[in-house]
Amino acid sequence: MAPTNTPKKKSSGGKPTSTVSYKDAIKVGVFCGIATLILALIVTRAWQDGRAFGYAFIYAGAAFVVVAGFASYLNWVMRKDTQNKDQSYPVLK
């Protein structure tokens, strides 16, 4: 996930920030959802019980929503950050 330079609002000087796209946040959510699905299928032995099979998909859906939502929220926070004057570098150098 490479950082993208997005223009800031004119009130903050129009300097670009270093954030990832929301599309990348969704990709991370999908990856975590699939990993959770696989692990839940194995841990609950879903091939033996239909109810456990359904719960595995519920767990995967919840993981997708939580991870994608949190990543999008953090992305939004970084885009609105006005504390640093020079935001042309990633948060972790």
Return all residues near 78 (Cβ < 8 A) that are at least 6 apart: 17, 18, 19, 91
State the pTM of this model: 0.66
Sign of CA dihedral 55, 59, 65, 68: negative
Model pLDDT for residues 36-60, shown as the tens digit of each residue: 999 999 998 988 888 989 999 999 9
Could you give the 3-state DSSP secondary structure of residue 34? helix
Amino acid identity, position 33:
G
Query: Which of 39, 29, 25 lies closest to 63, judged by CA?
Result: 29
Model pLDDT for residues 48-91, shown as the tens digit of each residue: 888 989 999 999 999 999 999 999 898 888 887 766 666 566 66
